[in-house]
Each structure stands twice: as C-alpha cells, then as structure tokens.
Amino acid sequence: MEKQLHLNLLASRPPMAGGLQSGSKMRMGPGRKRDFSPLPWSQYFQTMEDVEVENENGKDIFRIYCSGSHGPVLLLLHGGGHSALSWAVFTAVICSRINCRVVAMDLRAHGDTKVKNPEDLSADTMAKDIGKVVEALYGENPPPIMIIGHSMGGAIAVHTAAANHIPSLLGLCVIDVVEGTAMDALNSMQNFLRSRPKTFKSLENAIEWSVKSGQIRNIESARVSMGGQVKKWEEPISSPGVSNSIGEGIIEEEEEEEPEEESNNKRMKEDDQEIKKESVFTWRVELSKTEKYWEGWFRGLSALFLTCPVPKLLLLAGVDRLDKDLTIGQMQGKFQMQVLPQCGHAVHEDAPEKVADALATFMVRHKFTEFKEGYLC
C-alpha cells in the first residue's frame, strides 16, 4: 500500500487510505456548487520575473515568483509536473509567520520556464540550474538561503546542497520524498501516468479534477496551482482522440434536483457544445518521457541528505515512509523530522499552515530568523 502512495513522487495522486480515492464521488448536498475558477498568482506573491541564465547554447529563462523584502531567502522547488504556483498559498502563510523572502521557481521544462534543452532533466543539470539562478539573482554574495523542495524538487534540493551550488546555504527542508519508497514506486509510475485524463475542456475542469480525484485536497491551492500544471492544447480541437478524453477523470456532482439519467444526458449535450466552442487543456509536462532520469533523482538520496552539513528538516505525510538509512539517521539526531497526518502527497498544498508552522519553528529554533511582531506561534 505504501508503494502505491509513493507513485506520487513524480505527480501527485490520491492516497489509497483515508480521504478520497480515485473514482469516488463527493456529496455536497442538494444544489450546492463549489467554485473551481482559477485564482491569480498576484494574490499570493508580490512579484513575478524571468531570470536569464547563460549556458553553452545561449540563454535559458527561468520564471520566478517572489515575496518579502528582508530576512533569509526561502528557495522553493516544486515536484515533478507541478510549478512554482504550488507554493502560492504556503508563501502567503509563511510570510505572515516569520521575517523572510520567498523565491519560488519553475524548474526546467516546467511552468513558464524556457530552456534550450528541456529534455535534459538530470539531477546534475537541474541542481546546476538552481546555482545559476541564485547567482543571477544575487551575484557573488548571496544572502542566507534555506532551500525547500517537495518530491522531485526535494531530491533536486538535496543534490543542490550536496554539490555546494549555494555557498550561503542555511538549511535544507525536504517534503515527502524518501529514497526507498521512491525507488520502489518507479516500476508502477507509467501505469499511474496513463491512468490520468489526457485533456480537460477548461482550466476550471482541470481544477475540479485535481480536487475531486484527491491530487490536491485544498481547493484554494488547486485554484492557483493547476494553471502551472496544464496548458492550452496546441493542436486543432478536431484532432483524433481529443474529444474522447476531455471528460475523463471528472467526478460529477450528485444533484438532487433532477433524475440522474436526465441530468447525465443534459451534461453530455452541454459538454458537446462546449467542446466545439472552447480550447482544451493538456499537461504542460509529459512526465512519461522523463523516465530515464527518475532513478538518478532518487538513488543514493538518503545518504546525500544525511551528509549535507547544514541543519535539516524532513516533513512527511506518513512515518512509514522512512527507509533504513533515514531511520538510523533520525535516531542519531542527524535531522529533524515531523509527520503531518491527514495530508496527501502534496503536503504543502494540502496543509500550508501546518507546513509553514513546522518550517517557521525550525528556522527560529536555529536562529535563522525571528517570528514577526504580533504573531503568536
């Protein structure tokens, strides 16, 4: 069962125990509708900018979102298939807790980052990207930086720290990625990716699927972050196979007002009309094509994590995710661990306040920063 949970390490999926499962329905009560409309990044971050980085083939452009004006920098790295927007709600919360600056970046081939070689998602290349972006932002004297990564981003954070790409590194926080369970899950990853809907009829439709499938349990976070996971379909809507997959994955609301059969027929007609009028959305990242890099992200990760010389925090959705190396390291006090139950894999999206509280407490304890005046922890 835990192996199934860790299929999430590349792209979030619903947990197999507790909460909603894929295919389950949610009863909201008669006539009650939820708002799945997208929310803007500007509601959570102060600025957005594109950072140019030189490479052998020209320039790569990395999209970043920032908040805060003083204090240590929290450099946030998202999971596979996600984007910097997955940190939006967390950013608003952490900035209300402690004095800090936030920089959330779209990793290569993700979100709105544009690189010359988007096929290269090796751990080494992605870790070097982090160092180059930090150098482009701050020059030779960067401020103190705490690097925080979720899932794939957590693995890249460890590789970045271990390679000393950030000379001013304060600490390291890894969220819900452990080598043992990640490696075990890779064999089943392609099956999971094939099970996801390939297209959505609208961004609202994608947000609705993410919440009802359990990929993201926090509807507010889904409304701002799903726009970083999907993009408008670039081929004609009449392309073969497109219309067949538009409705996949959407779990319809149960309505009390009209008979189910009549309601379904009505929805099908409405869907058909909408398909003719609207563009469709598909995933920004074809994760299935990145398989050759998966092992490189995770193999040896526990040993790398334990050897990083800075204070370390590991946040998990379940204690049974620990492998042997981490269990021994935790017993020896080599890192701090906190379990945040009742969360899916996207812990920082599902429970942004809990993650912010854990991180704020960790950073204040290590005297990296202070709580904001008036904030009662």
Residues recognised as catalytic: 151, 176, 345
Chain CA centroid to CA 58, Å = 28
Provide the sign of the torsion angle of the four alpha carbons 362, 70, 159, 343, taken in this order.
positive
The amino acid at residue 126 is: M
Q: How many CB atoms lie within 10 A of CB 191?
A: 9
Q: Which tokens in the block code for residue 58?
A: 């020209």
Given a contact cutoff of 8 angstroms between Cβ atoms, the answer to whether 32 and 330 are in contact is no
Residue with tokens 């590991």: 314
Task: Determine whether 121 is exposed, middle or buried from the number of CB atoms within 10 Å of its CB (0-12, 13-18, 19+).
Answer: buried
Asked whether 106 and 62 are in contact (CB, 8 A), the reply is: yes
Which residues partner with 145 through β-bridges? 73, 169
Rounded to 5 degrees, φ, ψ at 79 are -85, 170
CA atoms of 103 and 121, how far apart (whole Å): 21
